Chain A
């Protein structure tokens, strides 16, 4: 029985309690106050009138902060309550805490403030001049600059027989998690501040909260509860909402809830980085020989994780191809736009949108079909990547995923039926393909290690916890699946603990498609240790050696087929005064990175993917219909096929939204598309069926053999669609989203 998840019943019955569903006795309500400014000095904030407003318990401003005023995951530049300056429209100048939500909202307009307007910086071009600095403490708006320097770029281009230069552009994208940010906090009788939040990283939320309150990590307990979607988007902003709510609870000494409206969420929460990408690429006798890329990302008002997001773009800047000479710069700049950070894909969907179109343009230039061109150039076993990593420690399966997607989609036949702008009626048909290699987990971005605890009770029931977070993807279920299989037990014996930051050591963020891979790694370690403990006690009873015991069908079995049931075994453990308890950890295999030349073993393994999209454009009705999608991914090993497919479908559809629909409009620094009626995400009736296929080459670098899927599923659909649009219309779309008005523009 694989179609099962531990939180399934709670979620289909409405019993699952998300942050806003929690009510605590004597709970107050908190709301943020915004400035309606884009870039301004704060001269004065007057809260007197708001303080006197009906039901208001406290109005909190930056001067009430007991801890640090600015925090961040990399640069500590984010003012959790704006103090000296407004840097984007999402900055919060005050928090109102009142007895009811209505009273808190009533008081918002009563906060008055004086500002000295500053000229705003709304483009990276303007930001790069450093005429106006967003953060005075830094002498430049440049957040980071990553480089790739490989070979000799001048010599490389000199040797090329064809050189192509092209410009591609992507936009801000909103995560669109269905549940807006929310947190409920209380000060416990032991002085610990409890945090229940809609966030995807309890440990990061704890760091933000501890910093704002000036407390130690042990004094904050962030507790896991169901979360209504994250997709990378419930890290910084969600952690900040938790921290502010905890501040309110601490200052008022009462439980406090803060739940965002959709409008606040869209205004304040970070988005996907818009990229501007200048590519120059040269061929020598049909092989990609030189690549120069100048990539600029809009980081918005705060750093967040821009340095990490843009770093991934270096390794993937050339797509999954062998390129001897590479010269790439990736920069992120501060602007007064909404800040940008983690979003499923993390710096890869942007570069894939460019490079996976560029290879097809090049193929056409030399009269090759796109598959032959890709096969002539793609990474294979033991190939060297653009960042000088030899792919020799796992199976490089680009050929497998590519062949599979071609076969399943009948790509080659359909390629001959494409319209290229010509058809007998108004309908144009096109098919498009894209592929990628994607580094797994954090890579050289940061420290990468995770923990797991198996605590078997003497009645045989098991408490399991792993320090990755259930974001909705089913990570808890996947961990239960692994443990059940390894111990030969039914799922029903395993209860995933509602873990907290106080119950298990920090396992890092549940990002970078690392949940199953890293969590599974730690769990496999814990399982091995648990079995050592159990086997030592049970082996004499089964008259065998400890390492000979097999766990199967609720039994511990010796080679001579003597056995005890799992329950009997745990009873024996009790009689022996031995705890069947194990702590496991997993540290990602070593990675290296040289910042100066952008070289090293960037990731310890890679996922390989290929997707095909078929589209039909009706030039009369100006409608684009996605007909079919084929997705093939080598994910190492499938732990739970149903959840895996869910990740593929969801990732593809989010990617489709980015490709064709989702247009976050910002006018003079203000986000116009402030709710789902203006920011439109895909609905069920607008989508085709997605055909997903999994290739399993168990990864030797991960204990469970699994790699990841959350992000690979999203990162190549926009170029596949763009390539299909080209085959339908004869027009190259180089800007996201690809809207019909632009596709039809002559």
Chain B
């Protein structure tokens, strides 16, 4: 059994199949960019992309990624170069405490892959699955809209 995690094929052990995906990502793969904010699938801090769909990893098991592509925040930037969307977050001061940021970036990435010309309302609707307590979302929304040109 295998999964593609951040573009690499990873063998999955049978004994791991029932593990919470979030715990597996953080504790077994040491990919700690994925955060645990509520552990009940409400805050979105644990968002990862599975086949480019935002999913809450605290609500999933490792078995849910078998033969699928998992993207965590660590997979967003290749060769230490920031993805233009990440760059856009910084250019718009969309980061404060940073705890929601990985999930927020991934949700935005999934949106822009699907819709490279979203309206502000569409952006707000897409990221409603990710809570942020610091920013009031405005600079996050602006950064996502501004990044759309890189998806065309």
Q: Which residues of A contact B (CB under 8 A)?
A: 3-5, 7-18, 20-21, 23, 175-180, 226-231, 261-262, 471-474, 642-643, 645-646, 648-654, 675-677, 681-687, 689-690
Contacts and interface: CB of A to CB of B under 8 A. Distances in A.
A9 B95 CA distance: 10
Most B C-beta atoms less than 10 A away, residue of A17, A21, A175 = A21
Contacts of A176: 133
Q: Which 9 A-B pairs have the closest CB atoms?
A: A14-B33, A472-B97, A228-B99, A11-B98, A649-B136, A642-B93, A14-B73, A653-B136, A21-B32
Contact of A642 (B82, B102, B139): B139
A685 B90 contact: no
A228 B136 contact: no
23 contacts: A5-B90, A5-B95, A8-B90, A9-B90, A12-B86, A13-B74, A14-B73, A177-B133, A178-B133, A228-B37, A228-B97, A231-B133, A262-B39, A472-B96, A645-B139, A650-B133, A652-B136, A676-B43, A677-B38, A681-B131, A683-B131, A685-B124, A690-B138
A471 B97 contact: yes
Contact of B90 (A4, A179, A689): A4
Q: For chain B, which range describes its interface: under 10, 10 to 19, 20 to 34, or 35 or more residues?
A: 35 or more
Contact of A262 (B38, B96, B105): B38
Contacts of A11: 95, 98, 101
A18 B138 CA distance: 24
Contacts of A684: 123-125, 127-128, 130, 132, 137, 140-141
A285 B134 CA distance: 44
B10 interface: no
B98 to A, nearest CB: 3
B77 interface: yes
Contacts of A179: 35, 37, 97, 99
Nearest to B142: A689
Contact of A177 (B72, B86, B97, B128): B97
Interface string B63-74: 000000000111
B45 interface: yes
Contacts of B38: 262, 675-677
A479 B140 CA distance: 23
B90 A178 contact: no
Given A5-B93, A677-B40, A683-B128, A13 B98 contact: no
A178 B139 contact: no
A180 B82 contact: no
B55 interface: no
Contact of B82 (A9, A20, A227): A9
Nearest to A13: B77
B43 to A, nearest CB: 5
B34 interface: yes
B34 A650 contact: no
Contacts of A228: 35, 37, 97-99
